[in-house]
């Protein structure tokens, strides 16, 4: 496999997980997109330095978190959600944990089994990326009620995924 | 508040500054909270990715202007690369359902499909691989579905789209080919393909699609010599006892396929090619039937005894008188019924043991002999193989080297029928083998004769034979007529086609119509047939063979009544009408479209006298298609909407349930396969290579090396019937031609 193809393969496999990390430490979605693209460029430029024995995901997170912490020390452009200590803790937790499976099939199935009302709520939150306040306005409810319902829907999804995993 | 709740509020974007500070403190001090946070964050992102797949395209384009100039300047090449892999390109994979317009518009991506939503308003979707099903509510602006080859513009309709094919169920869709801008309007019930850009009836598209599969060399329907096999699979025991044998029936189906193709395409070369191959391989050449000059029509044969039990063979002459052969044609221009296309038996042809396409035989020993009890032998019995007297003394008390062939007349009649349709469908002046078909019809008159030439019964008999000496010093030849008639072999269409040129076939047409009237049961089905003595007919519930009972199979009903219905529709002969009408009324009761989307054909017919009861259910694709064809011809003749809808439903469901990569097939449970290890009866004292106690499989050692043997062996060890899938040539053609005929009758 040539270098481009190799990079593409690894990058495609890990891009979702990289975004998850960025979204958990930055408090603004546009910033997540911008930093994701900047990081992608750096990953490509530095790909020669990547050690295939290491996890690509961990390497990518390392580069992204360096950027974040550098920014913190210098320009402070990035809207960080937490203190540098907590960001390091989150980084370590990501390295310890397991990335979401590449096959979204089970999650898709579980979403498909939800009642229509729950699926509508998920679509507003994750497809249209609306803030909870906007969702509350649209469905004629309160912020807290929407959050509670969403939490219950996510719990139902977790339970469904556990059942699926157990069935295998 | 629990740490989990804090995490959830943070991820939902509603944490207060105090709550966020609390979470920050917990994350920094407790790795378990950090773990919990990482996990929730990853799941949140997975949900976002899942949901944003469809909308990613628009978002990316909106993001482009915001991107900072220095990035683009820094690595314009890399951007080109990334452009291909960023979320804009998030390809949706089937199976999944995309919804718009509050659920009124749905696109179902089938398993294996790959698509990208390029826009939501107006809706633009690109299908890159596989197939999708669309149900589109009325649109203000047309919805566009692109494939690499074409573009479909939609205002509100139901259809199925793959990268190369569009099928419309409701409404109309305009399809435009990308390469040259050629466009076609596709209406409900029609299909268009990017390669032809013609809108045709869905049944015509199925016909062409299945014919392509049959002729695709990777699927293995034809031998290296271009001979169609009985079935793609080799381990099969029907009437032929190996899949790569072929039969006169297979050739006749090939002719049907190419006749239907000629009508649809205007190309008659494939029909001519099939006819020529049939003449080359299946019709014994003059060299295959020497010593004909010794044939004496005044004494056509020495009558041999006919015994019921296999143990009573070989038989000798029974001394009974024979009549005079009134036909006395020279070479017989009909097919021998069984041909070893791959030389599996190793008998070769005309004494050349390595030649392929040898003429062979199995059945010889009365009505109780099932295929499992037969002994395969060469039709050219020159004593190079077998015992000191070759194989001949297994069956008759004779020590003479000889050749002998058997014609199964329904196949030749089907070939004539196909040739007649070819002539009817082709433009005048098209070169077609109709004269050859007439010649075949001439020879086939032996089927209308009593076995010992004591009269012309006029029915299409089960079989007739002819043979002669291979000893130049002692020349002789014989012929026989046919002593039994099964209703399933009758072909009034072929008789009618030949009647203009032949008084014998004109008489046969009347005799056949009388047979149907006489044998129709009170329920509507047609009962077995007759054994024939001169011109005297005696009713037989199961003529010719009893293991299994010969009129148990529903396929005879479909095959024979299709010909009668076709005759009624084509000729308008009112004598056929009440018979077909009554039969169709019965068929509509016993053939069902099931509520679960399946269909059911009777697995067996149980007869008591001339009264019938349908038993069990099967989905046999060949029989179901033949039934659909019979119903369609009746529906066209009798304006029977119910029969038409049943036929249409059968064809749709066969296709939906049983179309596979090679053709059409349904799983079958082969209960008879327990007989693989059954012993074959060999006469005491026979001096040949078959040892006492030999089984069906001992005589056919190649089965133990067959790739499917394991399946059979394991099932038998468990005491269960093996479950097999077969691609029989005739069944493929039956499905293809039933579709072509349905389209000819109902969407011309």
Structure tokens, B362: 């199995």
Put simply, the answer to whether A89 touches B78 (Cβ < 8 Å) is: no
Q: How far away is chain B from the Cα of A65, in angstroms, using its nearest Cα? A: 14
Put simply, the answer to whether A93 touches B42 (Cβ < 8 Å) is: no
| Residue A145 in contact with partner chain B when CB distance is under 8 A | no
% of chain B residues with pLDDT over 70? 95
Please tell me which residue in B342, B596, B684, B698 is annotated as part of the active site. B596
Q: Which of B345, B405, B339 is nearest to B376 (CA)?
A: B345
Residue B56 pLDDT? 53
| Residue A104 in contact with partner chain B when CB distance is under 8 A | yes
pLDDT, tens digit, for every residue of A73-117?
777 778 888 988 999 999 999 998 888 777 788 888 888 888 888
pLDDT, tens digit, for every residue of B66-108?
333 333 333 333 443 444 444 444 688 888 888 888 788 889 9
What mean pLDDT do residues B25-30 have?
92
- The ipTM is 0.94
Q: Which residues of B touch A21 (CB under 8 A)?
A: 41
User: How many angstroms separate the CA atoms of B686 and B389, rounded?
Assistant: 10
| Residue A129 in contact with partner chain B when CB distance is under 8 A | yes
Residue in A85, A129, A147 nearest the CB of B9:
A147
Q: Evaluate the CA torsion angle B300, B301, B303, B304 in order and state its sign.
A: negative
Q: Nearest chain B Cα to A34, which residue?
A: B67
Higher local confidence (pLDDT), B121 or B692: B692
Low-confidence winner among A82-96, B59-73, B113-127, B612-626 (lowest mean pLDDT) = B59-73
Higher local confidence (pLDDT), B107 or B632: B632
B323 pLDDT more than 90: yes
Put simply, the answer to whether B10 touches A81 (Cβ < 8 Å) is: yes
> How would residue B560 be classed by pLDDT, with cut points 50, 70 and 90?
very high
Q: How far away is chain B from the Cα of A90, in angstroms, using its nearest Cα? A: 5
Q: Which residues of B touch A44 (CB under 8 A)?
A: 75, 78, 81-82
- Best residue in B26, B30, B50, B77 to probe A by mutation, most A CBs within 10 Å? B50
B171 pLDDT more than 80: yes
- Best residue in B24, B26, B42 to probe A by mutation, most A CBs within 10 Å? B42
Q: How far away is chain B from the Cα of A70, in angstroms, using its nearest Cα? A: 19
Mean pLDDT in chain B? 91
Q: Is B596 a catalytic residue?
A: yes
Residue B55 pLDDT? 59
Q: Which of A71, A75, A73 is nearest to A26 (CA)?
A: A71
Residue B70 pLDDT? 35
Give, as one character, the DSSP assignment of residue B53: T
Helix (H, G, I), strand (E, B) or coil at B182: coil
Asked if residues A29 and B11 have their Cβ atoms less than 8 Å apart, the reply is no
Helix (H, G, I), strand (E, B) or coil at B237: coil
| Residue A20 in contact with partner chain B when CB distance is under 8 A | yes
User: Hey, which of A43-47, B138-142, B732-736 has the most confident mean pLDDT?
Assistant: B732-736
Put simply, the answer to whether B71 touches A38 (Cβ < 8 Å) is: yes
State pTM to two decimals. 0.72
Low-confidence winner among A129-143, B2-16, B696-710 (lowest mean pLDDT) = A129-143
Q: Evaluate the CA torsion angle A10, A11, A17, A18 in order and state its sign.
A: positive
DSSP of A99-134: PPPS--HHHHHHHHHS-HHHHHHHIIIIIS---HHH
Q: How far away is chain B from the Cα of A80, in angstroms, using its nearest Cα? A: 11
Low-confidence winner among A107-116, B466-475, B661-670, B691-700 (lowest mean pLDDT) = A107-116
Q: How far away is chain B from the Cα of A140, in angstroms, using its nearest Cα? A: 17
Put simply, the answer to whether A33 touches B63 (Cβ < 8 Å) is: yes
């Amino acid at each position: 496999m040539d270098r481009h193809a190799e990079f593409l393969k690894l990058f495609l496999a890990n891009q979702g997980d990289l975004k998850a990390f960025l979204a958990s430490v930055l408090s603004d979605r546009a910033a997540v997109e911008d930093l994701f693209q900047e990081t992608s460029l750096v990953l490509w430029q530095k790909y020669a330095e990547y050690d295939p024995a290491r996890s690509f995901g961990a390497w990518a997170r390392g580069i992204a978190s360096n950027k974040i912490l550098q920014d913190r020390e210098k320009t402070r452009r990035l809207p960080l959600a937490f203190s540098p200590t907590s960001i390091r803790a989150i980084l370590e937790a990501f390295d310890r944990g397991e990335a979401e499976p590449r096959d979204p099939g089970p999650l898709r199935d579980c979403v498909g089994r939800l009642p229509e009302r729950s699926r509508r709520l998920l679509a507003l939150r994750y497809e249209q990326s609306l803030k909870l306040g906007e969702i509350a306005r649209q469905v004629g409810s309160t912020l807290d009620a929407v959050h509670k319902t969403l939490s219950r829907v996510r719990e139902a999804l977790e339970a469904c995924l556990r059942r699926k995993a157990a069935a295998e | 508040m629990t740490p989990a709740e804090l995490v959830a509020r943070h991820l939902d974007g509603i944490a207060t500054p105090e709550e966020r500070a609390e979470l920050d403190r917990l994350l920094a001090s407790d790795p378990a909270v950090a773990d919990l946070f990482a996990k929730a964050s990853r799941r949140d992102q997975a949900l976002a990715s899942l949901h944003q797949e469809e909308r990613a395209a628009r978002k990316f384009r909106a993001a482009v202007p915001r991107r900072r100039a220095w990035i683009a300047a820094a690595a314009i090449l890399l951007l080109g690369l990334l452009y291909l892999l960023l979320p804009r390109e998030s390809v949706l994979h089937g199976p999944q359902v995309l919804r718009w317009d509050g659920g009124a518009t749905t696109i179902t991506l089938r398993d294996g499909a790959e698509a990208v939503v390029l826009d939501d308003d107006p809706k633009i979707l690109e299908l890159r691989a596989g197939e999708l099903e669309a149900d589109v509510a009325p649109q203000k602006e047309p919805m566009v579905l692109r494939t690499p080859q074409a573009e479909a513009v939609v205002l509100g309709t139901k259809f199925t789209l793959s990268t190369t094919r569009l099928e419309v169920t409701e409404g109309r869709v305009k399809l435009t080919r990308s390469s040259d801008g050629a466009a076609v309007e596709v209406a409900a019930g029609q299909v268009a393909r990017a390669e032809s850009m013609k809108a045709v009836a869905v049944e015509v598209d199925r016909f062409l699609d299945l014919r392509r599969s049959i002729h695709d060399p990777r699927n293995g329907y034809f031998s290296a010599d271009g001979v169609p096999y009985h079935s793609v699979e080799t381990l099969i025991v029907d009437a032929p006892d190996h899949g790569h044998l072929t039969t006169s029936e297979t050739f006749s189906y090939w002719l049907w396929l190419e006749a239907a193709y000629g009508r649809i395409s205007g190309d008659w070369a494939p029909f001519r090619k099939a006819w020529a191959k049939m003449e080359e391989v299946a019709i014994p050449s003059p060299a295959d039937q020497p010593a004909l000059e010794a044939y004496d029509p005044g004494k056509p044969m020495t009558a041999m005894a006919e015994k019921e039990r296999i143990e009573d063979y070989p038989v000798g002459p029974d001394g009974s008188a024979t009549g005079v052969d009134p036909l006395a044609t020279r070479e017989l221009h009909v097919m021998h019924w069984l041909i070893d296309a791959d030389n599996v038996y190793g008998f070769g042809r005309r004494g050349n043991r390595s030649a392929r396409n040898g003429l062979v035989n199995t059945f010889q020993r009365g009505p109780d002999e099932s295929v499992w009890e037969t002994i395969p032998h060469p039709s050219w019995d020159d004593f190079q193989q077998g015992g000191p007297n070759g194989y001949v003394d297994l069956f008759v008390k004779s020590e003479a080297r000889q050749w002998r062939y058997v014609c199964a007349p329904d196949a030749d009649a089907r070939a004539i029928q196909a040739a007649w349709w070819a002539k009817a469908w082709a433009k005048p002046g098209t070169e077609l083998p109709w004269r050859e078909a007439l010649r075949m019809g001439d020879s086939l008159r032996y089927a209308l004769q009593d076995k010992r030439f004591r009269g012309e019964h006029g029915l299409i008999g089960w079989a007739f034979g002819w043979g002669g000496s291979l000893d130049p010093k002692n020349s002789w030849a014989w012929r026989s007529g046919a002593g039994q008639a099964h209703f399933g072999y009758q072909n009034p269409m072929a008789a009618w086609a030949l009647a203009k040129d032949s008084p014998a076939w004109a008489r046969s047409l009347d005799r056949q119509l009388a047979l149907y009237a006489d044998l129709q049961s009170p329920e509507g089905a047609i009962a077995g047939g007759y054994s024939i003595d001169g011109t005297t007919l005696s009713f037989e519930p199961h003529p010719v063979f009893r293991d299994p009972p010969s009129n148990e199979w529903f396929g005879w009903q479909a095959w024979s009544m299709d010909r009668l219905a076709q005759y009624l529709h084509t000729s308008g002969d009112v004598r056929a009408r009440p018979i077909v009408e009554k039969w169709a009324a019965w068929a509509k009761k016993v053939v069902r479209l099931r509520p679960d989307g399946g269909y059911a054909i009777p697995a067996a017919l149980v007869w008591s006298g001339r009264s019938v009861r349908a038993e069990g259910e099967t989905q046999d694709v060949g029989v179901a298609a033949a039934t659909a064809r019979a119903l369609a011809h009746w529906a066209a003749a009798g304006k029977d909407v119910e029969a038409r809808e049943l036929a249409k439903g059968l064809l749709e469901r066969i296709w939906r349930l049983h179309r596979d990569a090679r053709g059409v097939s349904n799983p079958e449970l082969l209960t008879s396969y327990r007989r693989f290890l059954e012993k074959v009866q060999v006469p005491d004292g026979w001096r040949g290579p078959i040892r006492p106690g030999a089984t069906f499989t001992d005589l056919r050692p190649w089965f133990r090396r067959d790739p499917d043997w394991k399946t059979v062996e394991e099932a038998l060890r468990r005491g269960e019937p093996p479950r097999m899938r077969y691609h029989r040539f005739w069944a493929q053609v039956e499905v293809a031609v039933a579709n072509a005929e349905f389209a000819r009758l109902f969407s011309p």
